[in-house]
Amino acid sequence: MPGKSLAAILKKTFGYSTFRPLQEEIIADALEGRDVFALLPTGGGKSLCFQLPALVREGLTVVISPLIALMKDQVEGLQASGVAATFLNSTLSAEETKTRYRGLYRGEFKLLYIAPERLMMSGFIDRLPELNVQQIAVDEAHCISEWGHDFRPEYRQLAELRPHLPGVPFMALTATATMRVREDIVNLLQLKEARCYTASFNRPNLTYRIVPKEKPSEQVLKWIKSRPEESGIVYCQSRKATEAVAEKLRAGGVAALPYHAGLEPAVRDRTQEQFLRDKIRVVCATVAFGMGVHKPNVRFVLHFDLPKNIEGYYQETGRAGRDGLPGECVLFFSPADAVKQRAFIEEKTDPEEQRISREQLQQMIHYAESGDCRRATLLHYFGETFTNVPCGACDNCMEPRERFDGTLAAQKFLSCIFRLRQASRFGVGLNHIIEVLTGAATEKIKRWGHDQLSTYGIGKEHSRQEWQGIGRELIRLGFCAQTAERMSTLELSGEGLAWLKSRSPLTLTRPLRSVGRALRQQIEGDIVCDERLFAELRSLRRTLADERNVPPYIIFPDVTLRYLAARQPANIQEFAEIPGVGERKLNDFGAAFLGAIASWKARK
């Protein structure tokens, strides 16, 4: 199909005049019947890659989705845009299920959303050839890989669809995947001569900040109260913490609820629904919350505790700013959190799994403590080079950490490692090295004779906390290496030994300071508009959403409301030019919003 025709369908149905990066190429390959693998960041428009081809071609597109909430959300959004879509899952009554089956057999639907478990049931998989299936789209495809952060065994069965639907093209989509996970997806789904598309992992509308963790509950409350109109997620390590933080927020006047796997399913579903419908402002959750929660106007994601790995952290922060408007990502960090995470790792029974977990945790700690650009560090993890430093949207670029001449401190620290290994023939941990440097009189130091070393007590000018920071930075720089064993020890690296001999100058970075000025400057994605009119349009949107029993963003996302508040259209023609206004929504909601804008202008 010509690009012009695709663009016309895009505007008519979804209200957008241009495609996002790679969307048009992916759609073209899908329409040519090719297998496709697409890695697009959260907010990059993955869904459109299979939704638009479904509108163009005859027959049914089956979308495999891991979560019930995601199915319902996507289908409601499509129906609001005039697209014939449905889902099958356990929330439906027997009668509702029969009705939808009848519709599928009659060819009434363009898209069917379904969980892998139901799809692979023998009764259903045998019926598929009768439903004129023209495309299989596997959403959240990273779930198929054991190396993915959300591995789901039931995804492994999906390759069995091939014999039942010979010739039907597959499309696999994900927002987060390392190279190893990407290879797993292609191999395990048996994608044939797949066209692979990988967009940049960069989310330019997000800011990243690490904040020293002092009184975290109070810090989180203060931070959220400074943003009274914004919605967000607070991720916590434990169920107990989610409940405690939610209670603290409620006591401070913030509408918040906890979400974790220990709650009854009905309670979790109700909390999620209240969040999606803007009835509560904040969800305090474990990592059990988030995948498939398509709430585009999440303006912030706070991490109350240290995440286990960078991949999970990236995925969780990616739930902010899905609509392309600015989002803030803040991690409250204390080295003590790393100790807790290591304790969890020790509970694992598989030695290889422990080793991998330790390595991943160490990468996360390095990210949290580094003075380098946060964005560049995140992208490097996924194999992408980011050169536009300073990025202008992370704490280290906007408020560069103080640097100092660390030559002498590094010489003392590395020399201490060398002398300890030379004297004892075994490695010791970071804390023991610091105790030797600061002249501590511990039982171990006396027993091993480390109080007789030339480096004993030579570092009293720095506190234990300062030495912790110096040591961890030298590990990051590669001058010494921390073993990934249960009792991790520090060893001098070849690079560190060479530097000790050269005695060349070395600049180190001061540790994190408490929160400075807020990162609230205008960044990419911001749409400047009249905030009072925006607030009135949000109120109207909520009323319309409540009348239709759908989340507010199903009516229009915040992006569309901000464009409306900025351009203030005076007639239906001008309204039709607003991004996100398709033909169906123009007919359904145009008059109401034009009336609200006209009324607001008259009162100015």
Checking if the pLDDT of 60 tops 90, the result is yes
pLDDT (tens digit per residue) in 170-187:
999 988 777 888 888 999
Query: What six digits make up the tokens of 458?
Result: 């030579």
C-alpha closest to that of 80 among 550, 417, 558 = 550
Q: Do domains 206-398 and 531-603 have the same CATH topology?
A: no
pLDDT (tens digit per residue) in 291-316:
556 788 999 999 999 999 998 899 89
Average pLDDT, the chain: 89
Burial bucket for residue 265 (CB in 10 Å: 0-12, 13-18, 19+): exposed
**How far is 437 from 430, CA to CA, in rounded Å?**
11
Burial bucket for residue 399 (CB in 10 Å: 0-12, 13-18, 19+): middle
Checking if the pLDDT of 503 tops 70, the result is yes
Q: How far apart are the first and last CA of the chain?
A: 48
Tokens 């480096």: give the residue.
Answer: 455
Tell me the whole-structure pTM to 2 decimals: 0.81
Q: Who has greater pLDDT, 356 or 566? A: 566
Query: What six digits make up the tokens of 193?
Result: 């001569």
pLDDT (tens digit per residue) in 192-215:
999 999 988 899 999 999 999 888
Q: In what order do the strands lie in the sheet with 231-235?
A: 206-212, 327-333, 298-303, 231-235, 282-285, 256-259
Query: What six digits make up the tokens of 22?
Result: 């790679």
Q: What is the CA radius of gyration of the chain?
A: 27
Q: How confident is the model at residue 526 (pLDDT cuts 50, 70, 90)?
A: confident
C-alpha closest to that of 42 among 309, 313, 380, 284 = 313
pLDDT (tens digit per residue) in 584-595:
999 999 999 999
- Residue 81 contacts residue 555 (beta carbons within 8 Å): no
**How far is 359 from 352, CA to CA, in rounded Å?**
11
**How far is 15 from 591, CA to CA, in rounded Å?**
16
Helices (H) and strands (E) in the chain, counts: 27, 17
**How far is 285 from 259, CA to CA, in rounded Å?**
5
**How far is 329 from 325, CA to CA, in rounded Å?**
13
- Residue 475 contacts residue 377 (beta carbons within 8 Å): no
- Residue 242 neighbours by CB under 8 Å, 6+ apart: 234, 236, 258, 259, 260, 284, 285, 286
Cα→Cα distances 66→141, 151, 208, Å: 9, 11, 28
Main-chain phi, psi angles of 108, to 5 degrees: -80, -15
Checking if the pLDDT of 348 tops 90, the result is no
Q: What is the pLDDT of residue 604?
A: 72
Checking if the pLDDT of 247 tops 60, the result is yes
SS (H, E, C) 491-539: EECHHHHHHHHHCCCCEEECCCCCCCCCCCCCCCCCCCCCHHHHHHHHH
- Residue 357 neighbours by CB under 8 Å, 6+ apart: 308, 309, 345, 348
- Residue 268 neighbours by CB under 8 Å, 6+ apart: 259
- Residue 517 neighbours by CB under 8 Å, 6+ apart: 399
Cα→Cα distances 403→187, 505, 506, 511, 518, Å: 47, 13, 10, 9, 21
Q: Domain 531-603: which topology? A: DNA polymerase; domain 1 (1.10.150)
DSSP string, 287-319: TTS-TT---TTEEEEEESS--S-HHHHHHHHTT
Which of 238-252, 345-359, 586-600 has the lowest average pLDDT?
345-359
Domain boundaries, the chain: 3-198, 206-398, 403-509, 531-603
Q: Domain 3-198: which topology? A: Rossmann fold (3.40.50)
CATH of domain 206-398: 3.40.50.300
- Residue 309 contacts residue 345 (beta carbons within 8 Å): no
- Give me the percent of the chain exceeding a pLDDT of 90: 56
DSSP string, 55-105: HHSSSEEEEE-S-HHHHHHHHHHHHHTT--EEEE-TTS-HHHHHHHHHHHH
Is the torsion defined by CA of 414, 418, 423, 429 positive or negative?
positive
Q: Who has greater pLDDT, 513 or 127? A: 127
- Residue 380 contacts residue 387 (beta carbons within 8 Å): no
Written as one letter, the residue type at 359 is E
Question: Any bridge partners for residue 405, and if so which?
Answer: 507
Half-sphere exposure of 504 (CA within 13 A, CB side): 6
pLDDT (tens digit per residue) in 441-464:
899 999 999 999 999 999 999 998
pLDDT (tens digit per residue) in 262-284:
899 889 889 988 999 999 999 99
Q: How confident is the model at residue 19 (pLDDT cuts 50, 70, 90)?
A: very high
**How far is 191 from 423, CA to CA, in rounded Å?**
58
CATH of domain 403-509: 1.10.10.10
Count of all residues that appear for the chain in the document: 604
C-alpha closest to that of 510 among 565, 462, 439, 581 = 462
**How far is 180 from 183, CA to CA, in rounded Å?**
5
Beta strands of 177-287 (E only): which ranges?
195-198, 206-212, 231-235, 256-259, 282-285
DSSP string, 170-196: EEEEES---HHHHHHHHHHTT-SS-EE
Tokens 């000790």: give the residue.
Answer: 500
Query: What six digits make up the tokens of 557?
Result: 């996302």
Which of 33-47, 94-108, 297-311, 552-566 has the lowest average pLDDT?
33-47
Half-sphere exposure of 502 (CA within 13 A, CB side): 10
User: What phi-psi label fits residue 478: left (phi over 0), alpha (psi between -120 and 50 degrees) or beta?
Assistant: left
- Residue 311 contacts residue 178 (beta carbons within 8 Å): yes
Q: What 3-state class would DSSP assign to 5?
A: helix
